[in-house]
Amino acid sequence: MQRQAVPVAPEKRKASVFDKCRSYDVPDRLIAAGVFPYFRVIESAQDPEVRIGGRSLVMLGSNNYLGLTNHPKVKEAAAQAVVRYGSGCAGSRFLNGTLGIHVELEEKLARFMGKEAAVTFSTGFQVNLGAIACLVERGDIVYLDKQDHACIIDGARLSFGTTKKFAHNDAGDLRRLMDDGGRKGRLIVVDGVFSMEGDIANLPEIVDVAQQFGAGVMVDDAHGLGVLGRRGRGTAEHFGLEDEVDLVMGTFSKSLASIGGFICGDAELIHFIKHRARTLIFSAAPPPASVAAASAAVDIIEKEPDRRERLWKNTRFMMDGLKSLGFDTGASATPVIPIIVGDDMDAFGMSKRLEEEGIFVNPVVSPATPKGRALLRTSYMATHTEEHLARALDALEKVGREFRVI
């Protein structure tokens, strides 16, 4: 006999966990205003110019700093890896998913970074989640810059330790927090290059504080790898502090033209992370094509230092151009150059107008940036030409004046 549903009085219904989803209307309001900037479909490779809706736009929103995502050698390496190994590893690194090319890439990365060992993960986000969570145990303290990337913050949350945040790039505030830490195990984790505003971590003073209190130092160099330092090793090399930084994390999705991530340091530290990081043990291994592409990118970085020189030439050209027009570019000292707008809706509106003018930029609003400090995040490639950048400056001047930002 079929059971009849018993009606429940409205006052007795429990609140559904999905109610928040049904009432969420932030994207709908942006769409209605004609300024929704997310999930734009790109119909081409991540080159200096991309195609969207059949139109060509100058790309100022990519992390393809060295312009390697469409490099013939990178694509060929990925294709050959698929032919040899197939499309995936069908398991975790811990069990059946370790291929010879994983080990070869880890050895190459350790050598390139000047460290004893490295281990690769399927994404950069997983590196920080897994490494921080397993290193910071109950009774330990992890110290984060307030502008650290979300994956650093989430890695700290997943740990059983205590999290303390210091004022952005303020080693004095870090020292104040550490004065209260007793004799517990301590780890400082900072971005080398802060991903929204392009400023560089005050690593010399942070290292001084770490040494004073016996703390470990980990640098997330997602946006510094391939960009900073004489050989492209990143922020620690930039400051001459490679021996003082215990762990360096990097991603493949920026300068290394792929997807994935790694962490490198002393062999004992990496051995521990390999056997304790849940995001490594319980995730499928990075696929062969991604590993081979990243490996080829490392080779190109080592053999073609002129790419980094062209990147910095383009960065200086745009920094000078933006400042001469009167834009506020914050404290950027890298190829990530913010244009400070202030109001969230102005950032959305300017992004849309720039798209209409043939320029792709990313609007950034809170919580990714402090409230009232909305910005347009622009970033540059070694493969941009001066003609690309001049077009961008013309459009930025036009739209900046329309919105009274300049």
Verify whether residue 254 is a known catalytic residue. Answer: yes
H/E element holding 85? Answer: helix 72-85
> What are the DSSP calls for 15-65, one per residue?
PPTTHHHHH--HHHHHHHTT---SSPPP-S-SSSEEEETTEEEEE-S---T
3-state DSSP of 231-269 = CCCCHHHHHCCCCCCCEEEEECCCCCCCCCEEEEECHHH
Q: How confident is the model at residue 231 (pLDDT cuts 50, 70, 90)?
A: very high
Tell whether the model's pLDDT for residue 4 goes beyond 70: no
Contact 90, 285 (CB under 8 A): no
pLDDT at 3: 58
Tell whether the model's pLDDT for residue 8 goes beyond 90: no
Q: Dmax of the chain from CA atoms?
A: 80
d(CA 60, CA 376): 10
pLDDT at 14: 67
pLDDT at 15: 72
Contact 121, 287 (CB under 8 A): no
Q: Which of 195, 258, 290, 379 is catalytic?
A: 195
Q: How far is CA 190 from CA 9, 239, 358, 370, in A?
A: 53, 15, 35, 18
Architecture of domain 32-61+305-402: Alpha-Beta Complex (3.90)
d(CA 67, CA 211): 38
State pTM to two decimals.
Answer: 0.94
> What are the DSSP calls for 110-156, one per residue?
HHHHT-SEEEEESSHHHHHHHHHHHHS-TT-EEEEETT--HHHHHHH
Which has more pLDDT, 368 or 399?
399
CATH (residue range 72-303): 3.40.640.10
Verify whether residue 115 is a known catalytic residue. Answer: no
Q: Which of 329, 313, 321 is nearest to 378 (CA)?
A: 329
**Measured in Å, how far apart are the chain's first and last C-alpha atoms?**
74
Tell whether the model's pLDDT for residue 332 goes beyond 80: yes
pLDDT at 11: 58
Q: CB-based burial of residue 371 (10 Å sphere; 0-12 exposed, 13-18 middle, 19+ buried)? A: exposed
Beta bridge partners of 92: 284
Domain layout of the chain by residue ranges: 32-61+305-402, 72-303
Q: Which of 374, 383, 400, 381 is nearest to 322 (CA)?
A: 400
Q: In this structure, are strands 336-342 and 374-379 parallel, antiparallel, or unpaired?
A: antiparallel
d(CA 218, CA 215): 10
* Mean pLDDT of the region 25-43: 95
Q: Which of 71, 75, 223, 274 is catalytic?
A: 223
pLDDT tens figures, 244-291:
999 999 999 999 999 999 999 999 999 999 999 999 999 999 999 999
Q: In the structure encoding, which two tokens stand for residue 400, read together?
A: 């900046």
Tell whether the model's pLDDT for residue 217 goes beyond 60: yes
**What is the rounded average pLDDT for all residues in the chain?**
95
Q: Which of 71, 254, 352, 388 is catalytic?
A: 254
Verify whether residue 195 is a known catalytic residue. Answer: yes
Residue at token pair 């219904």 = 13
H/E element holding 303? Answer: helix 288-303
d(CA 210, CA 233): 21
Give me the long-range contacts of 160-169 (CB less than 8 A, separation at least 24).
Answer: 160/136, 161/136, 161/137, 161/185, 168/194, 169/145, 169/199, 169/201, 169/202
d(CA 91, CA 115): 28
* Mean pLDDT of the region 343-369: 96
Length of the chain: 406
User: Strands across the sheet with 362-364, in order?
Assistant: 336-342, 374-379, 362-364
Tell whether the model's pLDDT for residue 206 goes beyond 60: yes
Tell whether the model's pLDDT for residue 2 goes beyond 70: no
Half-sphere exposure of 133 (CA within 13 A, CB side): 19
Backbone angles phi, psi at 342, to 5 degrees: 105, -70
Contact 42, 57 (CB under 8 A): no
